[in-house]
Structures are given as C-alpha cells and as structure tokens.
Amino acid sequence: MKWNQHDISQYVEAKEYIDTLIVPLIPFGAKKDEQMKTQAFQKELLTMFVNEIEKEYKGRIVLLPEYYYLSGKVNEETARLNHWVEEFTELPFEHVFLFTFDVNWRKASKDVDGEVIWLPGLQSGNLQSSEAQSFIKEQVSQIAEMIRSYW
C-alpha cells in the first residue's frame, strides 16, 4: 500500500492483514556539488527500489512517505525518526524496515526502533539502463526474501 488515497482507504478496511511498514530514509544537502548529484540520483534509485518491493507485497506492506533529512546529521535524527515509527507501531505494525543508501545509519541503527536496511547503492548512472534495472531486480528479489523471513 502506498501513501495515497486509494491504497490507504484499502488499508483502513483491512488493517488486520497489514503488519509491515517500510520507510525510505533519504539524505540531502547542498554543501558539495558532487554530493548533491549522487544524493539526487540515490533518491530516485531508492524510490524506485521501495516501489518495486511495495508492488511485490502490496497486500501486507505500507510504504510511508520518504523520510528526508540533512546529510551528516543522522544522530540528531534518530529521536524524530523514532517518533514517526512509534506513531505507526501503535496501530499496530509488527515489522518496521527502514531502507537507506546512507552508510551513517549503520552505526546509529541500534538507537532506531526498527530494522535499518543499508543497501550499497550505485553512485550514478542511468536509471532506465538495463544495468540499473537488473541491479534493482536482483536486489528486490533478495530483499523480498529477507522480508518474508521475518513474517
């Protein structure tokens, strides 16, 4: 279920079947040109990526709106992020997966109420290219398997 009217009204009708939450964590900043380019690209990539996962398991997953934050400020974000997650785990949601390409979450993951899944991403490239597409397909099928192992 995506965060849109149609899906969410479906979710409200069928709450008992949906117990998994996905939040994409997306950093951005304006300090360095190169970094901006990479972050913009990785934002697109991650969005595509979580959409694919959502498509696969639509009936059991809610994909929350992206969580944006200034890059490099991961430690300051954990409290706010936990608020987000808490709000939904009360519904209840049993499994919370936070997807990111930002390696800084690795260290901070112990303070976060949920599974932080760090993905080694591509730096740049063409999202329409077959290379990127097969990269996404490959990772999605593995992540899907991982999510299934939690259920």
Partner 1 sequence: MSDKKQVSRRQFLNYTLTGVGGFMAAGMLAPMVRFAIDPVLKPSAAGEFAAVVEESEITNEPQRFNWKVDQKDGWYESEVEKNAWVYKDENGEIVALSPICTHLGCTVDWNSQEQFPDEFYCPCHGGRYTKDGVNVPNTPPTAPLPVYEHKVEEGMLYLGQAISRGSGI
Q: How far is the CB of 42 from partner 1 (least distance, A)?
A: 22
Q: How far is the CB of 103 from partner 1 (least distance, A)?
A: 30
Pick between residue 79 and residue 146 the one whose CB is nearest to partner 1.
146
Phi, psi of 121 (to 5 degrees): -100, 175
Pick between residue 12 and residue 70 the one whose CB is nearest to partner 1.
12
Separation between Cα atoms, residue 22 and residue 96, nearest integer Å? 6
| Alpha carbon 129 to chain centroid, angstroms | 22
Return the ∠ at Cα 39 (arms to 35 and 43), rounded to 5°. Answer: 175
Residues making contact with partner 1 (CB under 8 A): 10, 14, 17-18, 55-60, 148, 151
Q: How far is the CB of 39 from partner 1 (least distance, A)?
A: 24
